[in-house]
Amino acid sequence: MKNKSYFSSIQPTIILGVLSIALTACGGGGSNETKSVVTPTPEPIVDHSGLSPLINNTVDPKEHLPGGDATVFKNNEDAFSTRPKMIADNFKLDGFFTSGDHLFRTPDRDIGPMLSTGSCQGCHINDGRGNIPASPTAPMLSMLLKLGNNTGAADPIYGDQLQPFAVQSFKTPDFSSGISIHDGSINGTELYGEAFPFIVYETINGTYPDGTSYELRNPIYKIKNLSFGLFMENIRFSVRIAPQAFGVGLLDAIPAANIISLADENDTDGNDISGRASMALDVFSGETKLGRFAYKAQNTSVLQQVAGAYGGDIGISNSIFPNESCTEQQQACQMAADQESKVGSEHDFSDKNLALVEFYNRTLGVPARRGFDKNNSTWDENIIAGRKLFFDTQCVDCHTPRHVTGEAKGSVLGKLTLTGLEENAEPIAMLSEQTIFPYTDLLLHDMGGSCVVTRETDIGDSCTTGAECMYVQRCDGLADGLIQGDASGSEWKTPALWGIGLVKTVNPKATFLHDGRARTIEEAILWHDGEAESRKEAFMALSQEERQQLIDFVESL
């Protein structure tokens, strides 16, 4: 009874954060006593970047400029290859950009001895995505095949990446002369590509809850004609198509702490998403840092990614990755390397050239959003509706729309000059302190699935040896079965979505997902599984009109 009369007599009034409560004593003749209790001002709700969180039905005023100052206004085949205005208006920086562009597009004379492609542009077509082979008999020219066993260890003969070509494919008129031949390089004198990988597809038919049908194609990877003998036991394969190259300088400038704060490895918030940061070796400092580049976020910087691609994809040694594209057990490759114009401690590619390509990659512009009328600052209503659906279906739980960059430090190789490199490279102002909209959290997510590798003939019979005996990998879902760095065989980094609607404008033959299996954005969504399964199901539950609105929004990015 005492408690009841006590609480019923509370009369609160809040004035400037002070709660004044008049407490009336129980019983006759008692005096009134007033106490003041200071209540703290609530902390403002902010996101990982310190900004007010985005909401589903209100567009941020900056969203039409996804790259901030690095945004470019191109929506044709040059959309991914354009220098931002701040570069074009600076004679010196424009010169560095042009030089890096030239190196990116032009084959070096010291490519090989074994390689996957002849130049950066050979994979990144118009600075965009690569192509899958037109048929099982066509070689992979803008795709890679990563190798490892069930623990992620590299193959002792073939290393961690398959090289389908020997250098003569790119330096003689006879392209086929560098393609692999079964046991062709075992004698130690004749050099051919390591093996011939190819893809066949099986059809998966499905139906939306509303009765609309769809069709997916599931890849089966096959490898034949191994030139240096058999792979190691428990081998795994990961086929990857070259991604678009722009925007990486901005992603590199996002503070690591901001990205790590998005991780929720144990799904403590119960939203089914348990993204985690990939911690990788930084080859310059020797420290473990946040990985944010390549499909499994195994590289810590744009420079590390660029230098690794020159060494691993094109066979161009450099100061960061000084070894030629040969393992110690590949005698024919080692002999060919000894005949190059630069041997021993002399690298194929200078640090200045490497810094120029790094600068070019970091400063490629991000195409502006479509669907925005800059004359009256309004958005297409269909895009607004699709944006709301993208938020409501919780796609944003992995595809984080917005980030803020910190200081974009200059290259660790040094400051570019007209004559070479100097110490103390300056930060890149265009990439620093920018509000950007890449739609990625740069975290690893388990997308589900598993893989099995078998030995089979062309007609599907089991085998163990011989020229007709191929390696065949079949996977459920998006898994590749390959452990790489922190990533398991079913984990992938969330890809950035900016520019995705222009992918086929830049390269009409381009397709989607890490291995190009998805012919459309819709198919890419339907392949989501594992952590993303509930988001896929939410998309499938939409009406046909709503699904198209969501896709239209993604295509506007």
SS3 string, 206-218, reads: EECCCCCEEEEEE
Alpha helices per DSSP H over 111-255:
120-123, 168-171, 248-252
In 3D space, the residue among 153, 162, 296, 156 whose CA is nearest the CA of residue 221 turns out to be: 162
Q: What is the pLDDT of residue 341?
A: 82
Strands (E), 112-173: 114-115, 143-148, 165-166
Packed helices 533-540 and 544-556: angle between N→C axes, nearest 10 degrees: 120
State residue 342's pLDDT score: 82
**Which residues on neighbouring strands pair with residue 373, listed in sequence order?**
378
The pLDDT averaged over each successive group of 10 residues in the chain (557 residues) is: 32 34 39 58 82 94 97 97 97 97 93 94 95 95 96 96 96 96 96 97 97 98 98 96 97 98 94 95 94 96 96 94 92 93 85 97 98 94 97 97 98 94 96 98 97 96 96 97 95 98 97 98 98 97 98 98
Q: How far apart are the first and last CA of the chain?
A: 63
Token look-up 């060919």 returns 336
Tell me if 532 sits within 8 A of 447, measured CB to CB. Answer: yes
Residue type, 219: P
| Distance set, CA 546 to CA 84, 266, 533, 535, 549 (Å) | 35, 32, 19, 14, 5
By CB atoms closer than 10 A (0-12, 13-18, 19+), residue 311 is buried
For residues 314 and 162, give the distance between their C-alpha atoms in angstroms, rounded to a whole number. Answer: 12
Residue 401 CA to residue 439 CA, distance in Å, equals 4
CA dist., res. 66 & res. 84, Å (int): 13
Helix, strand, coil shares of the chain as percentages rounded to 5? 25, 20, 55
Backbone angles phi, psi at 391, to 5 degrees: -70, -45
Task: Specify the 3-state DSSP secondary structure of 289.
Answer: strand
Q: What is the domain partition of the chain in residue ranges?
A: 2-38, 68-556
CB-based contact 185:228 (threshold 8 Å) = yes
- The structure's pTM equals 0.90
List the structure tokens of 196: 């011939």
Helix (H) or strand (E) holding 241: strand 236-241
Separation between Cα atoms, residue 530 and residue 497, nearest integer Å: 20
**Which amino acid is it at 489?**
G
CB 163 within 8 A of CB 330: no
Check if the beta carbon of residue 531 is closer than 8 Å to that of residue 445.
yes
Backbone torsions φ then ψ of 178, nearest 5 degrees: -105, 5
Of 260, 300, 302, 296, the residue nearest 283 (C-alpha): 300
* Cβ-based burial of 58 (10 A; exposed 0-12, middle 13-18, buried ≥19): exposed
CA atoms of 283 and 323, how far apart (whole Å): 14
The phi and psi torsions of 387 (rounded to 5 degrees) equal: -60, -45
Q: d(Cα 506, Cα 74) in Å, to the nearest integer?
A: 11
- What is the Cα–Cα distance from 433 to 419, expressed in whole angstroms? 30
Q: SS3 of 280, please?
A: strand
Q: How far is CA 495 from CA 203, 464, 522, in A?
A: 25, 38, 16
Q: What angle do CA 275, 280, 286 make, to 5 degrees?
A: 155
Q: The tokens 């390269």 sit on which residue?
A: 507
Cα(143)–Cα(509) distance, rounded to whole angstroms? 13
Q: Is the dihedral of CA 146, 150, 152, 158 positive or negative?
A: negative
Would you state the structure tokens that stand for residue 470, as one six-digit string? Answer: 């191929």
